[in-house]
A and B are shown apart, each in its own frame.
Chain A
Amino acid sequence: MLTLTSVVAGYGGGMVLRGVDLHCAEGTITCVVGPNGAGKSTVLRVISGLLRCGEGEITMDGEPIGDRTPDEILRRGIAQVPQSRALFPTMSVHENVLMGGYLIRKDRALLRERLDMVRERVPIVAERARDHAGNLSGGQRRMVEIARCLMLDPKIILLDEPSLGLDPHSLAGVAGLIGDLHRSGTTVLLVEQNVRLGLGLATHGVVMEGGKVRMAGPAASIRDDPEIAALYLGGAPGTAPPPLPGGTAAPSDSQKGGAWTIGSRRPSHTGDRASPPMG
């Protein structure tokens, strides 16, 4: 569906991406992991058109989009949720979410339908509708940001660290939302430093380092690669950097279903109800 072929791109100072190959198949969740500054967020920025692609090719459903403007790319169904500070702080939550539907502003009926859908999926949009977005806490803002991008019912959602600043409840909420999107057929490409969460949710994983893709494959195979785990996933037998009290350095498989994998926890406000197909 979305393919990057030897993409080279960078900011003023130099090239951050040095030949990136990446493929997202339809209906998958792909999680990009890697050290800080490896170019993960830059990949998302190049895809959404916020950063010009220097060399190489980006195609969406076979059509090149590397030289398109951000709004053209958005129209094609690629929506990005940036890392931080993306809400308009002096606008209300409701207005912020409405802004997400800017491209479909002429179709009132569709706008209303989408708004209802978003309200149902992300309860905070209705609960705090009149509050200024600037008065929300970090986690609440995150939910509103994702809600806003759902207004366009995108084919692909690019999420830059959705877990950032979220408490366990909200984290479960966001993770549940991503799972819902996946089930309703949306393709997801996310960058995540909470790698256990990210790779736990994802069907595919990509490891980036130094502006290149170092490894790509099914999420499980990346999770289980011992060298990758030690270098980027925060620990594997023998090398775990954050030593924990009690001497248990590495998660065993039996613990994977434990408290901190999100799949096993479904808080009440997300509920177990099957989500309606979007749009």
Chain B
Amino acid sequence: MTERESAPKSTGPLRRIPRIHLIALACLLALLLYPVINPWEPYPQGVLLLGFLLAVQASAWNIISGYAGYVSIGHSMFLGLGAYTAGIMAVRWDVNPLLSAPVGGVVATVIAVAIGSVVLRTRGHAFVIITIAMLLAAQIIAVNARGLTLGSDGITLPLPFWGRDYQNIPFYYIFLVMVVLTVAFSAWLRRTKFGAGLVAIREDEGKAASIGVNTTRFKIVAYAASAFPIGVAGSVYAYYLTFINPVGSFAILGSVTIVLACLAGGRGTLYGPVLGAFVVNLVSEAANVYGGGDSARVLLFGLALMVVVLFLPRGLLPTVESWWRRRHPADVEFIDQKGALEARAARSGPDLPSPAVSRAARASDEAGAGRVLLEVRGASKRFGGLRAVDGADLTVRQGTITGLIGPNGSGKTTLFNLVTGGMTADAGEIWFDGRRIDRLRPWVRGHLGLGRTYQVTRLFKDMTVQENVVAPQPDARWRTMVAGAVRGHEAERARELLDIVGLARFADEPAGSLSFGQQKLVELAQVLMLEPKLILLDEPAGGVNPSMLGVLTGVIRELNAAGMTFLIVEHNIPLVLELCDPIVVFSRGRPIAEGPPGTIREDPAVMDAYLGEDFRLEPAGPAGPPAGEGVR
């Protein structure tokens, strides 16, 4: 029922342009026409022009601090760098201002890469502090490097080369074009795998690393990308001002204004920073004119920041959006369980889309099944006094579905973390596909073909289901990074993978709105995007409806038949006995038994540690395992 209603909406050939783009286009037209209609009013043009400048900065800031979530409070440094680049080049070499603008952007980018590659290797708050420190350092350098910057005296730039009659109208259009370009750049970024990776970093950096996102590289590139437009704008702005000095160019108030604009408009959204920039700019101008000058402006900024944080924590645009959505609720999609089961029954044999398994298939061709793919040698991990993993050995052979069972707290999930790089082992070695991996970064292990899912799903809840599946980076190539996440080859593959787990209909829903069991299936599709050779599944059946378990095991079997190897932690013992061979039993941080399902079921040590004495209760047939009863 819901399927029929919603199908034309999502797949119709005439994709409607979203309302918000139409509104933005109308605003742009109005701003383009304004100087033509009203050419003799320099004051409102000047106010708008400063609004454009702030919009460029806020949109650019949004790339590192909105998308990737790394807040920079020193971003006006790049404006100053751009301005000084233009100023120095004009004074020393008499360079044409139009040439120096891109150079200003390049200088800002180079400095950003230099700072970023030092600071952004770590996670967390160090970045915020360093950005402020860098802004202040830049000011001090500009004051003291008199030979280059003329110190506190500042640099006076030549007047623009156009006639006085044009007033500031050329600047007006230059800045307006820069707003359009910056927003377009930001929109393009957000629609690539790179953009999806940035949002992934914001939402869960550890998980992002485990799906092959080179978080260090992503953050540095994002920081550089956010510096470039501001650098260019700074060069143009220097010409507009015709005079620059260190205190004005590297002002902390400028940075605060950028942050405020973004927070007010909606951090992490496309148009929010632009909207916020205009609001903040108008308010600050009003404070200047009616409130009694600069000091009133600072006071007002403080108050405005408080109001935004208290009443609009998500910003104007997201608030309006959610209000709109409440007024116009969409139909909620539900799993068509009957349909899914019937479709499954109708399908016969493995018909998985080839890209899903290509690398695994290649791997199994190269060296036949049976060779050791993953080997853990004597791995240990302690938490305080607790030995979670205690000198464990584990071997997973190519082409198997290896089961890993054991009581709660026996170290199974910790072992997974050691293998995929979420934690480092205190001792021991881990070898994967002939390489020692225990000192490699998590994303490198992902690129080698190691993927995992989590016991408690760790999807990026604010991203759509499709973005979640597109986000993984199967290799370290730059080309993969800039591949489209909404359309194109990668997006196509993501939809195929969603089809496999029967959730294609949910592609455009935010992942957080899905139920737990659905999220589990999305996470499986997500890890398949890595083209893994070995998948570590942490309780894949937990929380999945029992009738859908057949679909799940079917998918696992098909992928396995196509060459993919699995290591599965699961408490649904009948499912494990049915699906896995061999089975490894863990207890107190190390394996206590290993073998085919039949042996494991009979092993007295296993009984004692895990299954419980009364497990040996056999059904009527002597050889059969306890049937369906336990298959949840």
Contacts and interface: CB of A to CB of B under 8 A. Distances in A.
Interface string B307-347: 00000000000000010011001111111011001001000
A248 B630 CA distance: 13
Contacts of B333: 37
Contacts of B513: 11-13
Q: Which 7 A-B pairs have the closest CB atoms?
A: A234-B546, A241-B550, A139-B408, A36-B517, A260-B630, A137-B409, A246-B624
27 contacts: A11-B513, A13-B325, A15-B329, A35-B335, A35-B547, A36-B516, A37-B514, A37-B515, A163-B632, A165-B456, A165-B539, A167-B405, A169-B407, A169-B610, A193-B632, A195-B632, A211-B332, A230-B341, A234-B547, A235-B628, A241-B344, A242-B549, A246-B623, A254-B619, A255-B626, A260-B574, A260-B626
Given A13-B513, A258-B617, A258-B619, A35 B548 contact: yes
Interface string B502-537: 000000011001111110010000000000000000
Contact of A244 (B518, B616, B623, B631): B631
B625 A251 contact: no
Contact of B325 (A12, A35, A170, A194): A12
A31 interface: no
Contacts of A56: none
Nearest to B340: A35
Interface centre among B326, B409, B455 (most CB of A within 10 A): B409
Given A36-B515, A193-B545, A242 B553 contact: yes
Interface in B594-613: 610-612
Contact of B610 (A37, A161, A167): A167
B619 A255 contact: yes
B632 A138 contact: no
Contact of B337 (A15, A35, A196, A261): A35
Nearest to A172: B612
A65 B475 CA distance: 53
B453 to A, nearest CB: 13
Given A84-B516, A235-B631, A14 B332 contact: yes
B421 interface: no
Contact of B510 (A13, A15, A230, A246): A13
Contact of A168 (B332, B515, B542, B612): B612
A137 B157 CA distance: 66
Given A168-B615, A232-B547, A250 B630 contact: no
Contacts of B614: 259, 264-265
Contacts of A264: 614
Contact of B627 (A12, A38, A131, A255): A255
Nearest to B624: A246
Contact of B543 (A136, A161, A196): A161
A13 B332 CA distance: 7
Interface in B121-162: none
A74 to B, nearest CB: 23
Contact of A135 (B386, B616, B623): B386
A168 B631 contact: no
B578 interface: yes
B575 A242 contact: yes
Interface string A131-156: 10001111110000000000000000
Interface centre among B413, B547, B624 (most CB of A within 10 A): B547
Contacts of B617: 258-259
Contacts of A265: 612, 614
Contacts of B351: none
Interface in B363-409: 383-384, 386, 388, 405-409
A194 B543 CA distance: 8
B51 to A, nearest CB: 31
Interface in B548-579: 548-551, 553, 571, 573-575, 578
Contacts of B409: 136-137, 139-140
Interface centre among B455, B521, B616 (most CB of A within 10 A): B455
A231 B632 contact: no
Contacts of B165: none
Contact of A235 (B544, B546, B551): B546
Given A235-B546, A244-B628, A251-B627, A171 B571 contact: yes
A165 B408 contact: yes
Interface string B275-315: 00000000000000000000000000000000000000000
A15 B322 CA distance: 14
Interface in B71-125: none
B546 A193 contact: yes
B302 to A, nearest CB: 32
Contact of B518 (A37, A172, A260): A37
Contact of B629 (A35, A131, A259): A259
A10 B329 contact: yes
Q: Is the interface of A mostly helix, strand, loop or mixed?
A: loop
A123 B226 CA distance: 54
Contacts of B521: 36
Contacts, number: 229
A194 B611 CA distance: 17
Interface size class of A (residues with CB under 8 A): 35 or more
Interface residues of B, number: 74
A41 interface: yes
B18 interface: no
B621 interface: yes
A233 interface: yes
A6 interface: no
Contacts of B626: 255, 258-260
Contacts of A245: 578, 624-625
A163 B517 CA distance: 13
Contacts of A260: 573-574, 626, 629-630
Interface string A247-279: 011110011101111001101000000000000
A239 B624 CA distance: 19
A35 B620 CA distance: 31
A258 B618 CA distance: 8
Contacts of A197: 632
Interface centre among B332, B517, B539, B621 (most CB of A within 10 A): B332
A196 B407 contact: no
Interface centre among A85, A139, A258 (most CB of B within 10 A): A258
A244 B578 contact: yes
B332 A10 contact: yes
Contacts of B408: 137-140, 165-167, 169-170
Contacts of B341: 230-231, 239, 241
A240 interface: yes
Nearest to A141: B408
A250 B546 CA distance: 13
Contacts of B578: 242, 244-245
A65 B626 CA distance: 45
B516 A41 contact: yes
Given A13-B325, A161-B543, A41 B515 contact: yes
Nearest to B627: A248
A209 B546 contact: no
A83 interface: yes
A190 interface: no
A248 B624 contact: yes
Nearest to A137: B409
B546 A233 contact: yes
Contacts of B621: 246, 248
A179 B617 CA distance: 23
A210 B334 contact: yes
Contacts of A164: 542-543
A34 interface: yes
Interface in B446-482: 455-456
A16 B575 contact: no
Contact of A165 (B384, B455, B623): B455
Interface centre among A165, A230, A243, A250 (most CB of B within 10 A): A165
